[in-house]
């Protein structure tokens, strides 16, 4: 923030001392001219990046059959389709909505505790094995998702044949893919809080276990909370792993439904489904951000910028 | 095991020459004694216990699955042409590597165009991401002023708007009767609706850029935001024009962020198959990811391609891994 204000204020105060030339060459040479081109480009980018999504949301309220041109507004594809194909009417879609939230919830409950504990362990336990484990963990973060999806599909098909494709396999794949988020977020936080608080706790007579539970863990709450929000939102949006590992139709979440039908036989119900996903993730991220802000009140790094750096 | 033997030998030599460095084990022991005397002492197994569930999970659900891909790639097929993995490395066959090799380089190299196309698409899309993303990140970091938070939220928003929705949005816009065609027809640029979604390279590249550019902007922004203005002022004081200051100071400084951004966007693009499936479906625009996606269930060739993709991506991946690990250690 300070960098930006310094830059602009320098422009307005010292700019007066420089003799400004008129005309296009003067404009070009004026070192404090407003970056109009960049501004236009940024605004253009923002419009380009957000407008299509807004239009897609709007099209979900189309009363006609098309999801490319709006006829009249209505809730037909949400609740009120004569052929029972609306998002909240079609039994397949209702099952898909449930499956989406079920998967996200289970994944969140598994991945975050695993990841937090993993992060604490990796951060404090120095050694070759720890750095190898860290390497493997980050590899899941770096690999294109198709590779994780195929790896899980292969292992379920050829080795863990007792696991059927479906919810269980999906959760396994999702947790593997998501575990790196809490680890990275929590490790960043661990690094910024240092070891002093725990050592103080232990000087005051806490056992190692108590120092973790009563000192370290409360200090990690903001990071843990952010992880919950991010893992939940990211799982709602996931479709690669989930689609590879979905079995019969009843294990297909919304994202798979969208992926499969978007090209073949798209109605505004697809847009409605995508909008519902968007609303859920926005809600979760907003809640996570507000709670994060509350928990880090008065501490350095509680603003939007630091949340985004997560 | 060898290391331990070395340690023992070293200790024997320590007795002969008492001035030499203490061994690792001794150093660790003195460190532990020091910690114990200061009050903050943990049993040796204490921290590893925290990591064990995670390590177990990764072994079971990441290392083993990955080994399965290898076993399938070096494996064979049964009577019904279904892939059969071979678990023991000493029975591995490279037959399907040869198969894939001939489709890539032989006389009947029908996969070659796809691979080349993938490189062209990923290269173009990453370049567009870099140029446009750099401009946006630069503006937000330096000039956004009071709108900064707002712009930042807008820049982050694609992270929780699913990739699917963003592709569906373009599907809606680019459809035959979609708004892009309507506007272009109103402006008399085209007379008939242009079939954007019928296997057009431009559409797929647009989709890739649209999908991945946020991943380029954020690291660039994070980096540009931290460049000290004093450095730029020094450049200006020494007589460089704004353009020259940018070229000689800002740009060289942001090199690591540029590399990181390029790696972050190009890695998933190489494994991308869904952008194509959603915005084109034509084999004229298919990429490596599409071939993998369509063959992996039927033939060991899909797994071979996955391994080849891994080898192809190993350098950028290691770069990304190293920078992530460095960031973990010093932030």
Q: Nearest chain B Cα to A233, which residue?
A: B160
Please identify among residues 79-138 of chain B the ones whose CB lies closer than 8 Å to any CB of chain A.
83, 85, 132, 135-136, 138
- With 70 as the cut, is the pLDDT of residue A11 above it? no
What is the 3-class SS of chain B, one letter each residue?
A: CHHHHHHHHHHHHHHHCCCCCCCHHHHHHHHHHHHHHHCCCCCCCHHHHHHHHHHHHHHHHHHHHHHHHHHHHCCEECCCCCEECCCCHHHCCCHHHHHHHHHHHCCCCCCHHHHHHHHHHHHHHHHHHHHHHHHHHHHHHHCCHHHHHHHHHHHHHHHCCCHHHHHHHHHHHHCCCCHHHHHHHHCCCCCCCCCCCCCCHHHHHHHHHHHHHHHHHHHHHHHHHHCCHHHHHHHHHCCCCHHHHHHHHHHHHCHHHHHHHHHHHHHHHHCCCHHHHHHCCCHHHCCHHHHHHHHCCCCHHHHHHHHHHHHHHHHHHHHHHHHHHHHHHCC
State residue A241's pLDDT score.
92
Please tell me if residue B239 touches chain A, with a CB cutoff of 8 Å: no
Is B224 within 8 Å of B254 (Cβ atoms)?
yes
Q: Give the closest residue to A125 by CA, choosing from A228, A237, A5, A212.
A: A212
User: What is the greatest pairwise CA distance in chain A?
Assistant: 80
Q: What is the mean pLDDT of residues B238-249?
A: 82
The whole-number average pLDDT for the span B236-240 is 81
Looking at the complex, does the CB of residue B164 fall below 8 Å from at least one CB of chain A?
yes
- The phi, psi pair for A59, rounded to 5°, reads -65, -20
Residues of B in contact with A176 (CB under 8 A): 57-58, 61-62, 65
- pLDDT band, residue B57 (cuts 50/70/90): very high
Q: Is the pLDDT of residue A259 over 50?
A: yes
| CB-based contact B160 A233, cutoff 8 Å | yes
Average pLDDT over residues A109-128: 90
Q: What is the pLDDT of residue A22?
A: 58
Nearest to A140 among B50, B62, B182 (CB): B62
Residue A32 class from Cβ within 10 Å (0-12 exposed, 13-18 middle, 19+ buried)?
Answer: middle
Q: What is the pLDDT of residue B1?
A: 39
pLDDT for A250 equals: 77
Residue of B38, B64, B213 lying closest to A155 (CB–CB): B64
Name the pTM for this structure: 0.84
Mean pLDDT of chain B: 84
Q: Is residue B140 over pLDDT 80?
A: yes
CB distance B172–A114 less than 8 Å? no
pLDDT of residue B240: 80
- Would you state the pLDDT for residue A192? 82
- Once rounded to an integer, what is the mean pLDDT over residues B64-91? 88
Cβ A236–B162 below 8 Å, yes or no?
A: yes
Q: State the average pLDDT over residues B113-125.
A: 94
User: What angle do the packed helices A36-59 and B112-142 form, to 10 degrees?
Assistant: 120
Task: State phi, psi for B273 to the nearest 5 degrees.
Answer: -130, -20
- Only one residue has tokens 């709670």, namely A291
- pLDDT greater than 60 at residue A310: no
Report the gap between the CA of B285 and the closest CA in chain A (Å). 16
Distance from CA of A193 to the nearest CA of B (A): 11
Q: What percent of chain B has pLDDT over 70?
A: 90
Beta bridge partners of B269: none
Query: What letters, b where the CB count within 10 A reaches 16 and e where it falls short, cover B285-303?
Result: bbbbbbbbbebbeebbbbb
pLDDT band for A113, please (50, 70, 90 cuts).
very high
Distance CA A151, CA A145 (A): 10
Indicate the pLDDT class of residue B35, thresholds 50, 70 and 90: low
In angstroms, the separation between the Cα of residue A198 and the nearest Cα of chain B is 8
Higher-scoring residue by pLDDT: A29, A43: A43
3-state secondary structure of A42: helix
**Which has the higher per-residue pLDDT, B232 or B65?**
B65
| Confidence category of residue A99, pLDDT binned at 50, 70, 90 | very high
Q: What is the pLDDT of residues A203-247, one digit of tens each?
A: 887 888 888 888 889 889 888 998 999 999 999 999 999 999 988
Distance CA B258, CA B256 (A): 5
Query: Chain B closest CA to A204's CA: distance in Å?
Result: 9
Relative to beta strand B83-84, strand B76-77 is antiparallel
The confidence score (pLDDT) of residue B319 equals 87
- Cβ of B318 under 8 Å from any chain A Cβ? no
Q: In whole angstroms, what is the distance from residue A274 CA to residue B162 CA? A: 8
Hey, what domains does chain B have and what are their CATH numbers?
A: 112-300+313-329 (1.10.3720.10)
Cross-chain residue pair A151–B136, CB shorter than 8 Å: no
Q: What is the DSSP letter of A15?
A: G
Quote the tokens at residue B157. 């928003």
Average pLDDT of the segment spanning B24-29 = 75
- Model pLDDT, residue A302: 46
Q: Which of B5-19, B52-66, B103-117, B278-292 has the lowest mean pLDDT?
A: B5-19
Q: How far apart are CA A144 and CA B163, in angstroms?
A: 14
CB contact under 8 Å between A53 and B161, yes or no, is yes
Interface test with B, best of A1, A134, A144, A233 (most B CBs within 10 A): A144
Which helix (H) or strand (E) segment holds residue A14: the answer is: helix A2-14
> Which B residues in the span 240-269 are in contact with A, Cβ-Cβ below 8 Å?
241-242, 267-268
Residue B40 has a pLDDT of: 62
Residue B5 binned pLDDT confidence (cut-offs 50, 70, 90)? very low
Across the range B305-317, mean pLDDT stands at 89
Helix, strand or coil, per DSSP, at residue A60: coil
Residue A115 pLDDT more than 50? yes
**Are B167 and A262 within 8 A, CB to CB?**
yes
pLDDT at A5 over 80: no
ipTM higher than 0.90? no
Q: Which of B311, B301, B305, B313 is closest to B264 using CA atoms?
A: B313
Lowest mean pLDDT among A189-203, A229-243, A258-272, B36-50: B36-50
Searching chain A, which residue's CA lies closest to the CA of residue B41? A208
In the predicted model, is pLDDT for residue A18 greater than 60? no
- CA B256/CA B254 separation, integer angstroms: 6
The model's confidence at residue A15, banded by pLDDT at 50, 70 and 90, is: very low
Select from A34, A179, A303 the Cβ nearest to the Cβ of B57.
Answer: A179
Please count the residues of chain A.
310
The pLDDT tens digits for A47-64 are 999 999 999 999 889 888
How far is it, in rounded angstroms, from Cα B19 to Cα A62? 83
Cross-chain residue pair A52–B166, CB shorter than 8 Å: yes
Stronger pLDDT, A171 or B44, i.e. the higher one? A171
Chain A residues near residue B242 by CB distance under 8 angstroms = 31
Q: What is the mean pLDDT of chain A?
A: 82
Percent of chain A with pLDDT over 90: 35
Look at phi and psi of residue A238 and say left if phi exceeds 0, alpha if psi is from -120 to 50, else beta.
Answer: beta
Is the pLDDT score of B10 beyond 60?
Answer: no
Contact B85 A158 (CB under 8 A): yes
Q: What is the pLDDT of residue B13?
A: 46
Q: Give the per-residue pLDDT at A277.
A: 93
What is the pLDDT, as a whole number, of residue A10?
Answer: 41
| Residue A50 to residue B309, Cβ atoms within 8 A | no
Q: Is residue B11 predicted with pLDDT exceeding 50? A: no
Contacts of A173 in chain B (CB under 8 A): 61
pLDDT at B106 over 80: no
Selected residue of B46, B50, B221, B243 to mutate for chain A interface (largest A Cβ count, 10 A):
B50
């Amino acid at each position: 923030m300070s960098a930006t204000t310094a830059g602009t204020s320098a422009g307005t105060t010292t700019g007066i001392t420089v003799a400004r030339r008129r005309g296009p060459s003067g404009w070009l040479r004026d070192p404090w001219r407003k970056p109009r081109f960049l501004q236009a480009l940024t605004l253009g980018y923002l419009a380009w990046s957000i407008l299509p999504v807004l239009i897609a949301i709007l099209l979900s309220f189309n009363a006609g059959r098309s999801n490319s041109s709006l006829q009249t507004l209505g809730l037909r594809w949400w609740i009120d389709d004569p052929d029972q194909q609306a998002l909240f009417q079609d039994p397949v879609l209702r099952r898909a909505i449930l499956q989406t939230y079920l998967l996200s919830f289970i994944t969140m409950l598994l991945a975050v505790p695993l990841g937090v504990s993993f992060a604490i362990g990796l951060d404090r336990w120095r050694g070759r094995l720890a750095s190898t484990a860290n390497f493997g963990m980050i590899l899941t973060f770096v690999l294109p998702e198709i590779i994780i999806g195929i790896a899980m599909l292969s292992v379920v098909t050829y080795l863990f044949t007792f696991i059927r494709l479906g919810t269980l396999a999906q959760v396994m794949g999702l947790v593997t893919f998501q575990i790196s988020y809490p680890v990275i977020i929590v490790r960043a936080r661990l690094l910024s809080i240092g070891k002093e608080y725990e050592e103080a706790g232990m000087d005051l007579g806490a056992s190692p276990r108590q120092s973790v539970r009563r000192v370290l863990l409360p200090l990690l709450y903001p990071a843990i909370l952010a992880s919950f929000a991010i893992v939940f939102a990211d799982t709602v949006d996931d479709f690669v792993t989930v689609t590879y590992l979905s079995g019969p139709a009843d294990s297909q979440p919304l994202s798979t439904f969208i992926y499969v039908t978007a090209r073949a036989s798209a109605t505004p119900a697809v847009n409605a489904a995508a909008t519902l996903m968007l609303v859920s993730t926005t809600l979760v991220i907003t809640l996570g951000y507000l709670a994060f802000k509350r928990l880090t009140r008065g501490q350095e790094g509680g603003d939007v910028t630091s949340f985004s750096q997560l | 095991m060898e290391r331990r033997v070395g340690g023992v030998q070293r200790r024997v030599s320590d007795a002969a020459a008492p001035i030499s460095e203490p061994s690792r084990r001794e150093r660790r022991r003195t460190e532990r004694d020091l910690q114990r005397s200061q009050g903050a002492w943990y049993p040796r197994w204490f921290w590893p216990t925290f990591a064990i569930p995670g390590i177990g999970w990764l072994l079971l659900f990441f290392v083993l699955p990955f080994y399965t891909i290898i076993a399938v790639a070096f494996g064979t097929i049964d009577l019904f042409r279904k892939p059969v993995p071979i678990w023991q490395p000493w029975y591995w066959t490279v037959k399907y590597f040869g198969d894939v090799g001939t489709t890539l380089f032989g006389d009947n190299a029908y996969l070659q165009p796809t691979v080349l196309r993938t490189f062209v698409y990923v290269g173009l899309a990453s370049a567009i991401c870099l140029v446009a993303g750099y401009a946006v990140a630069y503006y937000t970091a330096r000039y956004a002023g009071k709108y900064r938070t707002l712009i930042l939220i807008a820049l982050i928003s694609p992270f929780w708007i699913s990739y699917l929705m963003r592709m569906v949005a373009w599907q809606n816009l680019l459809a035959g009767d979609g708004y892009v065609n309507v506007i272009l027809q109103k402006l008399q640029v085209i007379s008939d609706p242009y079939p954007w979604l019928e296997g057009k390279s431009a559409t797929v590249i647009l989709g890739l850029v649209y999908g991945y550019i946020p991943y380029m902007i954020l690291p660039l922004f994070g980096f540009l935001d931290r460049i000290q203005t004093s450095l730029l002022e020094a450049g200006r004081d020494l007589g460089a024009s704004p353009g020259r200051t940018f070229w000689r100071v800002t740009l060289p400084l942001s090199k690591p962020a540029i590399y990181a951004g390029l790696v972050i966007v190009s890695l998933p693009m190489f494994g991308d198959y869904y952008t194509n499936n959603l915005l084109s479906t034509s084999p004229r625009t298919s990429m490596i990811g599409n071939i993998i996606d369509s063959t992996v269930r039927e033939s060991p060739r899909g797994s071979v391609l996955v391994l080849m993709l891994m080898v192809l991506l190993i350098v950028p991946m290691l770069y990304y891994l190293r920078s992530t690990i460095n960031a973990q250690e010093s932030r």
